[in-house]
């Protein structure tokens, strides 16, 4: 799964809007729009790995993963 697909899943699962995602990641809403564009679009930008990981961390997903992989820590 690429970062665009991961972002779409997070937006859907957590019922986020693009402005909320932009505010959480400290980017412009237009940047989020470009990340979500089809790869066929000229304006499409690849979402950086650090951005999707930061969003997952802020949504509490990274904490859960680390607890599951390292129980007792």
10 Å CB burial of residue 20 (0-12, 13-18, 19+) is middle
Each residue's pLDDT tens digit, 7-65 = 999 999 999 999 999 999 999 999 999 999 998 999 899 999 999 999 999 999 987 65
User: Sign of dihedral through CA atoms 17, 23, 26, 27?
Assistant: positive
Report which secondary-structure segment, H or E, holds 73. Answer: none
In the numeric block, which tokens belong to residue 55? 């969003």
Question: pTM for the whole thing?
Answer: 0.83
C-alpha dihedral, 25 to 29 to 31 to 35, nearest 10° = 90
Contact between residue 61 and residue 53 where contact means Cβ atoms under 8 Å apart: no
Domains and CATH numbers, the chain: 3-69 (1.10.260)
């Amino acid at each position: 799964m690429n970062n665009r697909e991961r972002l779409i899943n997070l937006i859907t699962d957590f019922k986020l809007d693009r402005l909320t995602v932009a505010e959480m990641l400290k980017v412009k809403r237009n940047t989020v729009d470009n990340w979500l564009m089809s790869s066929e679009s000229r304006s499409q930008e690849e979402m950086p790995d650090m951005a999707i990981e930061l969003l997952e961390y802020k949504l509490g997903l990274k904490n859960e993963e680390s607890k599951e992989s390292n129980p007792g820590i």
